[in-house]
């Protein structure tokens, strides 16, 4: 059974390298969302609906349903795809289930990106600064140097444009309304990864509530933050492997 990994913002598939090494499998595919390590097609507006449709199209290329894993906005794309087309997956994993809780409020960075002018200014600082400044910024978030260098190399003007369009398309109440469809994800076994020090994706209570609505298992990663797959890839691989082993078929 193929494993498919989908990353988020402001990332490239470099974020998965440590985890892939620990998984030790030869059937893992990384899908890079347009603008985030892969070129954005002409006319691609980078809205959350366009990313959902992009991921559905990619999953349709596989010969059989896959074990789908998403991180950050990749986790959002995973949920949006699974709520729409659960038939394309054998199982799903996300680490952002809490954003679909009715009480979720976008984090401070997202709120700036959603503001005209202020968003453009912040994205320009993040995406168009010298590469070593971008690496240093990622190191400050707790990402390892090799991963930070791989991510920074993929950042630039196109990623900045996609960041702004994506976050603005998902300003509240959009996520709240999408969360009404969480029960549809229960059609396939799901796992909500809950890194206890990840403060971007809602409180523990929000994440547990949303996971329950999707009938998903919850894996607690005590002491790990937003980039849990980089901070402790061995523990992340163990959690995923144990979940996949529990999935019927």
Q: Region of 117 please: left (phi>0), alpha (psi -120 to 50) or beta.
A: left
Residue 228: predicted pLDDT: 98
pLDDT of residue 134: 95
Provide the pLDDT for residue 1.
80
Strands 190-195 and 217-221: parallel
Q: For 49-68, how does the pLDDT look when each residue is reduced to its tens digit (9 = 90+)?
A: 999 999 999 999 999 999 99
Cα–Cα distance for residue pair 106/169, rounded to 1 Å: 13
Which pLDDT does position 64 carry in this prediction? 96
**Gap between the Cα atoms of 54 and 52, Å rounded:** 5
Residues contacting residue 248 through CB under 8 Å, at least 6 positions apart: 189
* pLDDT by 10-residue block (mean), the chain, 249 residues: 96 97 97 98 97 98 98 98 98 98 97 97 94 94 93 96 98 98 98 97 97 98 97 98 95
Q: What is the pLDDT of residue 141?
A: 87
Third-level CATH fold of 3-104+176-246: Rossmann fold (3.40.50)
Position 196 scores a pLDDT of: 97
* Spatial distance between the Cα atoms of 63 and 88, rounded to a whole number of angstroms: 10
Reading across the β-sheet that carries 190-195, which strands appear in turn?
Answer: 28-31, 3-6, 66-70, 89-94, 190-195, 217-221
Q: What is the pLDDT of residues 183-229, one digit of tens each?
A: 999 999 999 999 999 999 999 999 999 999 999 999 999 999 999 99
Domain boundaries, given as residue ranges, for the chain: 3-104+176-246
pLDDT recorded at residue 142: 85
pLDDT of residue 181: 98
């Amino acid at each position: 059974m193929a494993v498919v990994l989908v990353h988020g913002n402001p990332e490239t598939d470099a974020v998965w390298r440590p985890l892939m090494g620990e998984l030790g499998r030869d059937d893992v595919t990384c899908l890079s969302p347009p603008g985030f390590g892969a070129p954005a097609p002409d006319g691609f507006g980078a809205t959350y609906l366009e990313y959902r449709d992009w991921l559905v199209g990619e999953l349709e290329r596989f010969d059989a349903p896959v074990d789908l894993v998403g991180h950050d906005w990749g986790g959002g794309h995973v949920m949006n795809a699974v709520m729409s087309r659960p038939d394309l997956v054998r199982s799903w994993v996300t680490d952002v289930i809490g954003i679909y809780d009715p009480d979720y409020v976008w984090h401070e960075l997202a709120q700036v990106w959603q503001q005209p002018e202020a968003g453009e200014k912040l994205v320009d600082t993040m995406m168009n600064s010298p590469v070593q400044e971008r690496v240093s910024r990622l190191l400050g978030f707790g990402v390892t140097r090799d991963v930070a260098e791989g991510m920074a190399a993929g950042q630039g003007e196109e990623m900045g444009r996609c960041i702004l369009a994506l976050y603005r398309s998902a300003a509240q109440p959009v996520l709240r309304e999408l969360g009404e469809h969480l029960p549809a994800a229960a059609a396939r076994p799901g796992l909500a990864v809950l890194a206890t020090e990840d403060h971007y994706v809602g409180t523990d209570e929000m994440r547990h509530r949303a996971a329950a609505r999707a009938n998903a298992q919850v894996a607690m990663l005590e002491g790990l933050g937003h980039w849990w797959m980089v901070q402790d890839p061995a523990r992340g691989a163990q959690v995923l492997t144990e979940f996949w082993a529990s999935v019927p078929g």
